Amino acid sequence: MRFSLGKLTLPLYAVLAFIYLLIPIVYTFVFSFNNSLKTNLIWRGFTFDKWTNVCQREGVCEAFGNSVFIGIISTIFATGLGTMIAIALVRYRFKFRSSVNLLLFLPMATPEVVLGAGLASQFFNLGVQKGIWTIIIAHIMFCLSFVVVTVKARVASLDPALEEAGRDLYANPTQVFWKITFPLLLPGIASAALLSFALSFDDFIITNFNAGSDMTFPRYVYTAAARGVPAEANVIGCAVFALAILIVLATQINGEVKRRKLAKVH
What is the footprint of other proteins within residues 37-96 (CB under 8 A)? Answer: 41-42, 81-82, 84-85, 87-94
Nearer to other proteins, 9 or 52 (CB): 9
Shortest Cβ 141–other proteins spacing (Å):
4
Shortest Cβ 49–other proteins spacing (Å):
19
Longest dimension (CA), the chain: 72
- DSSP code of 21? H
Tell me if 164 contacts other proteins by CB under 8 A: no
Tell me if 106 contacts other proteins by CB under 8 A: yes
Q: How would DSSP label each residue in 136-170? A: HHHHHHHHHHHHHHHHHHHHHHS-HHHHHHHHHTT
Distances (CA, A) of 204 to 63, 139, 208: 12, 11, 6
List the one residue from 48, 53, 241, 254 that touches other proteins (CB under 8 A): 241
Shortest Cβ 181–other proteins spacing (Å):
12
Provide the H-helix boundaries in the chain. Answer: 2-30, 49-52, 60-91, 97-109, 112-126, 132-157, 160-168, 173-176, 182-202, 205-210, 217-225, 231-265
Nearer to other proteins, 140 or 215 (CB): 140
List the one residue from 65, 107, 131, 187 that touches other proteins (CB under 8 A): 107
Of residues 202-231, those binding other proteins (CB under 8 A):
202, 204-205, 208-209, 217-218, 221-222, 225-226, 229
Tell me if 145 contacts other proteins by CB under 8 A: yes
Distance CA 130, CA 211 (A): 5
Question: Which residues lie closer than 8 Å to 132 by C-beta, 6 or more apart?
Answer: 66, 69, 70, 214
**How many C-beta neighbours within 10 Å does residue 132 have?**
15
Tell me if 190 contacts other proteins by CB under 8 A: no
Shortest Cβ 39–other proteins spacing (Å):
10
Shortest Cβ 265–other proteins spacing (Å):
18
List the one residue from 37, 38, 56, 114 that touches other proteins (CB under 8 A): 114
Shortest Cβ 61–other proteins spacing (Å):
15
